[in-house]
Structure 1
Amino acid sequence: MNQTTNSILMIRPVAFRMNEQTAVNNYYQKVLDGLSPESVNAKAQEEFDTFVNKLRMVGVDVTVIDDTLEPSTPDSIFPNNWISFHENGDVVLYPMFAENRRLERRDDILDVLEDKGFQISDELTDYTSAEEDGFYLEGTGSIVLDRENGKAYCALSPRADEELFIEFCEDFEFTPVIFEAFQTVDGERKLIYHTNVMMCIADTFAVICADCIDDKKERKMVLDSLKADQKEIILISEDQMNNFAGNMLELVGSDERRYLIMSASAHKSLTKKQIAQLEEHITILSSSLDTIEACGGGSARCMMAEIFLPKNE
């Protein structure tokens, strides 16, 4: 399987705001004082449009779908949590922790992709019934895939259930790599809500905040797994992770050139040495996502659902 793709799905927000239902365990979210909901959404749209333009300018195929005002889906800008698209034509739907995030699931998106020539299997793989029993697994937020090496990494949390994750790995023939990752919140160590804020796996390297894996055996196990697959490991600090330096994604642009996509805040947080390490492998592309990061508690990687579906000739 290919690790990277040229095609992504992005959802343009129409009523973006801080989602009170996700803030209970997403400690990155903040209230922006003095800004009306309309101003917050306008800023988010501006950041979104600039980001999409930058991606398209380097040759990334971006399918943009406009969100709808009804139902209210403040986090629709992060589609990778509820859907994923695979090389064999499979589409997977995931169970979501927040009730209002479940409303983001839309059949019409599949119609748009088929109209663009993407091939989709007749049967969806649907784990969403787990919501009824209070179990969740939020797509490639909860799961960081090393497709080439057949491994799936998951930091367990209220949004990443271990049994569901193992079921996903069995269904898609991935070897599970399971651990817990923490961040300091008001002096307490609390579980990180999504694996993709603390690690990113690219073709030839991995960016990871190893310090947030408090259990030393688990930390060694994760790092040994990455080393075994010949990934150069680029370590980031918890402070850099808090600036979304773990929330990156490798994409392919024009002429097969590879880009590491991240936010401006993530880029600014990196040291010269880390940037030099990355640039030995890849070209960095960053864009300002300050409003989206503050209100949504997610960043560049969360905004992009990779499309690996086969395409009609």
Structure 2
Amino acid sequence: MLLTDAAAFRAAPDPAGTHSAACASGAFLVAPEGFSLAAQSALDNRYMASGTVAPERALAQHRGLQRALADEVPTVCFPGDPATPDAVFPNNVFATAPGRVIVGHMRHPVRQREAERADIRDFFTRVLGRTLIDLRTQAGICELTGSLVIDRARGIGYCGLSERCDPVGAAAMHAAFGLGVSFVFALAAGEYHTNVVMSVLASRALVICPEGFADPAAADAIAARYAPHVITLDRAEQQAFAGNCIALGPQTVWMSEAAADRLRPSTRWRFEDCGFRIRSVALDEIEKAGGSLRCCVGEIF
């Protein structure tokens, strides 16, 4: 069931049963080898910096991220490619659901090249035995778990429409991930991905910045489903990528060091009150490309 009306979503019950584990059993990354800023991505990503980046510093920070995440879940890293400078954010292109690996339909050609990688597809299909669902064959633009934030245990998807996801793509992702309910809404002007303005943590808590939504009623309807376990970010916290966080376990939330440093004391207390310890990794060099920690992490369910 796809819903586009905030009142209808607020009234809809959770889908019956448990759809999958609340947290991933593993994670995958793509190294920022030959790291640079993609001019095409800058057309609709206002979070990107201008100027140059330091590739070796980006690599060092990325290695630190892998080491840190490996403390919590098995974390594999695929090599990068200078021809695909945004590949450091693989969760937009490749995603998983139980028994499946899904390939997204990216908007920009520079990112479409990432989906052509046979090694990542083969890892999931030949090594892990997953069924491939290739959304490049349908017309809708859908940048997977960038555009779609998923409450895995409840089987609920939150899909923000922007240049990076259209209604046809939203419907395709709803089917590919096997979701019970998807709430489809417009992001605020200038927002490109849903996972920059909200996150669902371990299917029990919500991190959200209402200013990231075109319609405040949409944000209110989502928050009502998780009350009282709602962590509301102000615009400054959100723009520092605090909304681009992820729970890979039931008691830990991961975000970049810059995001953690920007949190107000009251926001830190809310994470703790919801049962999450904050862990952070320095990623400021990678953040120049317009994404942060959650964007770097592909989840294995």
Paired position in structure 2 for 1:311: none
Given candidates 77, 84, 92, the residue that maps to 2:102 is 92
Equivalent runs, 1:82-121 vs 2, <5 Å: 82-87=93-98, 89-105=99-115, 106-113=117-124, 118-121=128-131
Q: CA deviation at 1:114?
A: 6.4
State the partner residue of 1:201.
200
Question: Percent of counterpart pairs with the same letter?
Answer: 28
Cα distance in 1 for partners of 2:214, 2:112 equals 32
**Structure 1 residue 179 corresponds to structure 2 residue 198:** no
Q: 2:12 aligns to what? A: none
Tell me the amino acid that sits aligned with residue 249 of structure 1.
I
Q: Does 1:237 align with 2:230?
A: no
Change (3 A) 1:259 1:118: farther
Give 1:125's aligned amino acid: I
| CA–CA distance in structure 2, aligned partners of residues 155 and 84 of structure 1 | 17
Instruction: Please report how far the alpha carbon of residue 98 of structure 1 lies from its aligned counterpart in structure 2 after TM superposition.
Output: 1.0
Is structure 2 residue 55 aligned with structure 1 residue 41?
yes
- Counting only pairs closer than 5 Å after superposition, residues 293-304 of structure 1 correspond to structure 2 as 293-294=287-288, 296-304=289-297
- Following the alignment from structure 1 to structure 2, what is the Cα–Cα distance between the partners of residues 109 and 216? 38
Aligned length: 278
Superposition pairs for residues 152-191 of structure 1, below 5 Å? 152-171=157-176, 172-182=178-188, 190-191=189-190
Q: CA deviation at 1:307?
A: 0.5
Q: CA deviation at 1:191?
A: 3.5
Task: Find the residue that maps to 2:69 and give its secondary structure.
Answer: helix
Work out whether residues 155 and 192 of structure 1, in 8 Å CA contact, stay in contact via their aligned partners in 2.
Answer: no
Aligned to 2:42, the other structure's residue is in SS state: coil
Answer whether contact 2:245 2:293 (CA < 8 A) is retained: yes
Q: Name 1:10's counterpart in structure 2.
A: 29
| Structure 1 residue 209, shift from structure 2 partner | 0.1
Deviations 1:173-220 (A, max 9, x none): 3311122222xxxxxxx2410000000101221100012224233233
- Aligned pairs (5 A) from 1:14-25: 14-25=33-44
Deviations 1:231-265 (A, max 9, x none): 6110001111110010001013xxxx632110001
Residue of 145, 155, 175 corresponding to 1:140: 145
Q: Distance in 2 between matches of 1:138 and 1:111?
A: 20
Distance, in Å, in 2 between the alignment partners of 1:214 and 1:96 is: 22
Cα distance per residue 1:251-289 (max 9 Å; x no partner): 13xxxx632110001101111121122123122110111
Match of 1:60 in 2: 73
1:170 positional shift:
3.5
CA distance in 2, matches of 1:220, 1:270: 22
Give the aligned partner of residue 186 of structure 1.
none
1:180·1:191 contact (CA, 8 Å) conserved in 2?
no
The offset of 1:67, in angstroms, is: 1.4
**Which structure 2 residues correspond to residues 240-259 of structure 1 after superposition, within 5 A?**
240-252=237-249, 258-259=251-252
Give the alignment of 1:206-225 within 5 angstroms: 206-225=206-225
Give CA deviations for 1:101-152 in whole Å, capped at 9, x if unaligned.
Answer: 111121212434567x63312xx1111124xx5x411010000001111110
What amino acid does structure 1 have at the position aligned with 2:38? N
Scaled by the length of structure 2, the TM-score of the pair is: 0.87
- SS of the equivalent of 1:23 reads helix
Structure 1 residue 272 and structure 2 residue 265: aligned?
yes
Distance 1:94 1:173, change over 3 A: same
Cα 1:167/1:59, change in 2 over 3 Å: closer
The runs of 5 or more residues in structure 1 that have no matched partner are 183-189, 309-313
Query: Could you state the TM-score of these two structures normalised by the residue count of structure 1?
Result: 0.83
Distance 1:4 1:158, change over 3 A: same
Contact 2:141 2:168 in 1 (8 A): no
